[in-house]
A and B are shown apart, each in its own frame.
Chain A
Amino acid sequence: MIELTNITKNYGEVKALDNINLKVFGGEIFAVIGPNGAGKTTLLRIMAGIERPTSGEIYFKGEKVNETNPIRLRENSTLVFQRTALFNATVEWNLAYGLKLRNRPRKEIDEKIKEALEMVKLQGFEKRWARRLSGGEQQRVSLARALMLGTDLFLLDEPTANLDPRSVSIIEETILRINRERQTTVVMATHNMFQAETLAQRATLLIGGKTLQIGTVREILKTPSEHVESFARLENVFSGTSKVAQGGISVIDLENGLKIEAAIRREGKVTLSVRPEDMILSKSQIVSSARNTFKGEVTGISDFGDSVKLRISAGKDFVAQITKRSFEEMQLNIGSEVYLTFKATSVRVV
Chain B
Amino acid sequence: MSLETEIIEISARAIIVSGSATLLASLWGLPIGITLGLKRFRGRNLVKGFFNALMGMPTVSLGLILYLVFSRVGPLGFLHLLYTPLVMIIGQAVLITPIAVSLTSSTVESIDPDIRDLARTLGASETQASLAVLRESTSGVLLALITSFDRAIAELGVALMLGGNIRGVTRVLTTSIALETTRGELLLGMALTAILLLIVFALNTLVNLIQRRASV
**Chain B positions within 8 Å of A302 at CB level:** none
Interface core residue of B117, B118, B128 (most chain A CB under 10 Å): B118
* Interface majority SS (helix, strand, loop, mixed), chain B: helix
**When the two chains form their complex, are residues A78 and B122 in contact, meaning their CB atoms are under 8 A apart?**
yes
**When the two chains form their complex, are residues A145 and B216 in contact, meaning their CB atoms are under 8 A apart?**
no
Q: Is A125 an interface residue (CB 8 A)?
A: no
Known contacts A85-B114, A87-B132, A88-B214: A49-B122 contact under CB 8 Å = no
A2 nearest CB across to chain B (Å): 15
**When the two chains form their complex, are residues B120 and A50 in contact, meaning their CB atoms are under 8 A apart?**
yes
**When the two chains form their complex, are residues A48 and B123 in contact, meaning their CB atoms are under 8 A apart?**
no
Q: Is A348 an interface residue (CB 8 A)?
A: no
Residue of B nearest to A50 (CB): B120
A101 to B117: give the CA distance in the assembly, Å: 15
Residue of B nearest to A83 (CB): B114
**Chain B positions within 8 Å of A83 at CB level:** 114
Known contacts A81-B118, A85-B117, A87-B136: A98-B123 contact under CB 8 Å = yes
Q: Is B115 an interface residue (CB 8 A)?
A: yes
**Chain A positions within 8 Å of B119 at CB level:** 97
**When the two chains form their complex, are residues B117 and A74 in contact, meaning their CB atoms are under 8 A apart?**
no
**When the two chains form their complex, are residues A81 and B117 in contact, meaning their CB atoms are under 8 A apart?**
yes
Within 8 A of B (CB), among A31-76: 45, 48-50, 71, 74-75
A98 to B119: give the CA distance in the assembly, Å: 8
**When the two chains form their complex, are residues A101 and B120 in contact, meaning their CB atoms are under 8 A apart?**
no
Q: Is A149 an interface residue (CB 8 A)?
A: yes
Residue of B nearest to A51 (CB): B117
**Chain B positions within 8 Å of A78 at CB level:** 121-123
A50 to B118: give the CA distance in the assembly, Å: 9
**When the two chains form their complex, are residues A87 and B115 in contact, meaning their CB atoms are under 8 A apart?**
yes
A276 to B135: give the CA distance in the assembly, Å: 41
A98 to B121: give the CA distance in the assembly, Å: 9
**When the two chains form their complex, are residues A79 and B121 in contact, meaning their CB atoms are under 8 A apart?**
yes
Per-position contact with A for B111-138: 1 when CB-CB < 8 Å, else 0?
0001101111111110010001001100
**When the two chains form their complex, are residues B118 and A101 in contact, meaning their CB atoms are under 8 A apart?**
no
Q: Is A107 an interface residue (CB 8 A)?
A: no
**When the two chains form their complex, are residues A101 and B128 in contact, meaning their CB atoms are under 8 A apart?**
yes
**When the two chains form their complex, are residues B123 and A75 in contact, meaning their CB atoms are under 8 A apart?**
yes
**When the two chains form their complex, are residues B118 and A85 in contact, meaning their CB atoms are under 8 A apart?**
yes
Known contacts A87-B132, A129-B216, A132-B216: A101-B115 contact under CB 8 Å = no
Per-position contact with B for A89-110: 1 when CB-CB < 8 Å, else 0?
0000000011001100000000
**When the two chains form their complex, are residues A71 and B125 in contact, meaning their CB atoms are under 8 A apart?**
yes
Residue of B nearest to A131 (CB): B216
Residue of A nearest to B123 (CB): A75
A49 to B114: give the CA distance in the assembly, Å: 15
**When the two chains form their complex, are residues A149 and B123 in contact, meaning their CB atoms are under 8 A apart?**
yes
Known contacts A87-B115, A87-B132: A74-B216 contact under CB 8 Å = no
A103 nearest CB across to chain B (Å): 11
**Chain A positions within 8 Å of B124 at CB level:** 74, 101
Interface core residue of B120, B125, B128, B214 (most chain A CB under 10 Å): B120
Interface core residue of B119, B120, B122, B125 (most chain A CB under 10 Å): B122
B183 nearest CB across to chain A (Å): 51
Within 8 A of B (CB), among A289-320: none
Within 8 A of B (CB), among A148-162: 149, 155
Known contacts A87-B115, A87-B132, A101-B128: A50-B121 contact under CB 8 Å = yes
**When the two chains form their complex, are residues B123 and A102 in contact, meaning their CB atoms are under 8 A apart?**
yes
A132 to B214: give the CA distance in the assembly, Å: 11
A48 to B123: give the CA distance in the assembly, Å: 10
Within 8 A of A (CB), among B149-205: none
Within 8 A of A (CB), among B89-145: 114-115, 117-125, 128, 132, 135-136
CB<8 Å pairs between A and B, sample of 12:
A71-B123, A75-B123, A79-B121, A81-B117, A85-B118, A87-B135, A88-B214, A98-B123, A101-B123, A102-B123, A129-B216, A131-B216
Q: A74-B120, A101-B123, A149-B123 are in contact. List 8 more A-B contacts (CB 8 A).
A: A45-B117, A71-B125, A74-B124, A81-B117, A81-B118, A97-B132, A98-B123, A131-B216
Query: A residues touching B (Cβ–Cβ < 8 Å)?
Result: 45, 48-50, 71, 74-75, 78-81, 83, 85-88, 97-98, 101-102, 129, 131-132, 145-146, 149, 155
The 3 closest A-B pairs by CB, nearest first: A98-B122, A79-B121, A85-B118
